[in-house]
């Protein structure tokens, strides 16, 4: 699914109006009925609604939704915030329709004191500003937003929270952005929804299809996409009846040091659970018994060191190599990593301490084979590619994202930046955002599991791009299924591994639905 800029959304709307053809007020009605249907599906009609409405088309949406809910016998009140003396043509039409219906009390607000919401159980619907907002909110609108944010009421934003820009919010004032519990975005989510610093504003967001023209959605170019099961399921390969383990690859996992052998265990188990034919775990000598006992399905390659990674095994037999989980950052491990990079002739995935060793030796980055997959968490990435301006520290998701894309293009690497909505940046300048996963996965070893999954896919012959996309989605989906079976709070990395089978089954089901 594509992610479009605010300017592109306006262009897509205009194309739909011209080519469908449909007049803009009817397109607004279509969107408003989708929103009203979602609200009616969540709330009984004994729940009152209060709409905060602006003068533009977002306000027009709000007025139309208010009318539709009132027709369904909901108690509805509207505050028309007079930010401007005039309304957009469609907002004006919907205001006239709402007044003609005569079922909704409309208050025109010229001072914030005129906006009084005294029922704590009323749902406040934000329809002040939509995707057309291009400058920081001030004056009466800022006062109303501040007032709404201080209320105990549930807040739901239409299109996007008022005051939030569609892309770059680094210079925006967070005190002038509405804090929604839910956001009902239309057709495609804004890019800003995928950055951690904006989650306090968007809350939980839902994408509502409104039937924009499929031709322009297909043809409009964008570097941004987000992952959905219907697409990911098409990547998943089918297995032939007479296949044997040799058909599914032989992966080499280099992991573990004294005190961190658990990372090697988790990565090896995840690799096996993701379909690899054979996995060989290269570990320090003292880790031999740990791996042999914990992961009996793994072959073992023993390092010459008792406690760290210090030498590169023969790489001839392997179809993919993963390195980093629990590796440690000793100088000997650094020298061995450099030797591995120089000797590797198969796809690589690099994680954890192997990334930290690269950060200490940035000149090695140019030695990495094209399309090597790096899987840093935000701090590892900032060490790997310093450059986020100090003034954006703490609200730097967008800055880090730009740096991630630049880094991937410059070095011709695939960069998986881990976190909620993990992003995958490619050498061609494209960037994909994941939609699976939950806060329960913020637990020790979760990243090691991801490394094992991606290594397994690489070893089976999936391309690096496919391995990154499918691996990230599967990892998050397994985490979601594990949390559903127990809870986010109790989730541990091993639960993600044990839920991988269910994640594969889910994707197979999605593929069957797509095929039918």
The pLDDT assigned to 373 comes to 99
Task: Name the token pair of 296.
Answer: 């009996």
Q: What is the DSSP string of 285-310?
A: GGGHHHHHHH-TTSEEEE-SSSSS--
Domains of the chain (ranges; CATH) run 6-222 (3.40.50.10260), 230-234+248-388+407-515 (3.40.1190.20)
For 431, left (φ over 0), alpha (ψ -120 to 50), or beta?
beta
Specify whether the CB–CB gap between 235 and 268 falls below 8 A: no
Give the C-alpha separation, 479 to 495, whole Å: 7
What pLDDT score does 516 carry? 67
Q: b/e string for 486-496 if b means 16 or more Cβ within 10 A?
A: eebeebbbbbb
φ, ψ of residue 474 to 5 degrees: the values are -60, -45
The whole-number mean pLDDT for each consecutive block of 10 residues of the chain, a chain of 516 residues, reads 95 96 97 98 97 97 98 98 95 98 96 97 97 92 98 98 96 95 97 96 97 96 97 96 97 98 98 98 97 98 98 97 98 98 98 98 97 96 83 74 96 97 98 98 98 98 98 98 98 98 96 78
3-class secondary structure, 4: coil
What are the tokens at 42? 């969540």
pLDDT score recorded for residue 389: 67
Dist. CA 354–CA 95, nearest whole Å: 60
* Exposure on the CB side of residue 1, measured as CA atoms within 13 A: 17
The predicted pLDDT at position 477 comes to: 98
Task: Determine the pLDDT at residue 392.
Answer: 56
Contact present, 184 and 161 (Cβ < 8 Å): no
How far, in Å, are 56, 307, 503 from residue 515 at the CA level? 42, 51, 18
Q: How many CB atoms lie within 10 A of CB 67?
A: 23
Cα dihedral value 42, 48, 50, 56, nearest 10: 50
Q: What Å distances lie between residue 294 and 266, 268, 451, 454, CA to CA?
A: 9, 10, 18, 21
pTM: 0.95
Which helix or strand (DSSP H or E) is residue 423 part of? strand 423-425
Rounded to whole angstroms, the Cα distance separating 243 from 239 reads: 7
Extract the tokens encoding 146. Answer: 């501040």
Interatomic CA distance for residues 296 and 404, integer angstroms = 38
CA distance 3 to 9: 9
* Confidence at residue 391, expressed as pLDDT on a 0 to 100 scale: 61
How many CB atoms within 10 Å of residue 383? 15
CB burial of 393-432 (b: ≥16 within 10 Å; e: otherwise) equals: eebbbbbbbbbbbebbbebebbbbbbbbbbbbbbbeebbb
- Phi then psi dihedrals of residue 159, to 5 deg: 75, -65
| Peptide bond connecting 280 to the previous residue in cis, omega within 30 degrees of 0 | no
């Amino acid at each position: 699914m594509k992610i479009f800029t605010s300017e592109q959304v306006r262009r897509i709307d205009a194309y739909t109006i011209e080519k469908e053809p449909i007049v803009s007020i009817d397109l607004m009605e279509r969107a408003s009925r989708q929103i009203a249907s979602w609200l009616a599906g969540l709330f009984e009609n004994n729940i009152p609604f209060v709409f905060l409405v602006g003068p533009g088309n977002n306000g027009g949406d709000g007025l139309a939704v208010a009318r539709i809910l009132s027709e369904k016998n909901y108690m509805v009140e509207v505050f028309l915030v007079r930010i401007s003396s005039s309304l957009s043509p469609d907002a004006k039409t919907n205001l006239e329709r709402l007044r003609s219906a005569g079922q909704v009390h409309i208050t025109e607000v010229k001072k914030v004191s005129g906006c009084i919401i005294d029922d704590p159980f009323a749902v406040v619907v934000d329809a002040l500003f939509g995707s057309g907002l291009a400058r920081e909110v001030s004056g009466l609108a800022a006062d109303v937003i501040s007032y709404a944010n201080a209320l105990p009421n549930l807040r739901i934003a239409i299109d996007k929270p008022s005051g939030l820009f569609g892309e770059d919010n680094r210079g925006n004032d967070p005190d002038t952005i509405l804090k929604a519990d839910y956001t009902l975005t239309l057709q495609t989510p804004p890019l800003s929804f995928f950055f951690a610093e904006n989650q306090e504003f968007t809350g939980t967001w839902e994408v509502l299809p409104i039937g924009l023209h499929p031709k322009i959605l297909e043809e409009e170019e964008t570097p941004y996409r987000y992952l959905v099961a219907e697409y990911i399921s098409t990547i998943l390969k089918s297995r032939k009846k007479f296949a044997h383990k040799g058909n599914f690859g032989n992966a080499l996992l280099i992991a573990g040091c004294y005190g961190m052998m658990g990372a090697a265990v988790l990565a090896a188990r995840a690799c096996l659970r993701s379909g690899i034919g054979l996995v060989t775990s290269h570990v320090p000598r003292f880790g031999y018994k740990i791996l042999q006992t914990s992961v009996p399905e793994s072959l073992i390659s023993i390092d010459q060191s008792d406690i760290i990674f210090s030498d590169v095994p023969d790489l001839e037999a392997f179809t993919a190599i993963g390195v980093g989980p629990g590796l440690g950052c000793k100088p000997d491990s650094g020298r061995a990593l450099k030797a591995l990079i120089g000797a590797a002739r198969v796809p690589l995935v690099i994680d954890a301490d192997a990334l930290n060793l690269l950060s200490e030796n940035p000149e090695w980055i140019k030695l990495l084979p094209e399309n090597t997959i790096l899987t840093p968490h935000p701090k590892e990435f900032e060490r790997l590619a310093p450059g986020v301006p100090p003034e954006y520290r703490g609200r730097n998701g967008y800055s880090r994202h730009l740096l991630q894309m630049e880094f991937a293009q410059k070095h011709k690497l695939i960069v998986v930046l881990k976190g909620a909505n993990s992003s995958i940046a490619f050498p061609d300048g494209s960037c994909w955002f994941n939609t699976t996963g939950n806060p329960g996965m913020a637990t020790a070893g979760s990243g090691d599991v991801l490394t094992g999954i991606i290594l397994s896919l690489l070893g089976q012959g999936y391309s690096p791009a496919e391995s990154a996309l499918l691996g990230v989605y599967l990892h998050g989906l397994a985490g979601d299924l594990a949390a559903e079976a127990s809870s986010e709070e109790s989730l541990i990395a091993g639960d993600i591994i044990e839920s991988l089978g269910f994640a594969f089954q889910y994707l197979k089901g999605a593929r069957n639905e797509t095929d039918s």
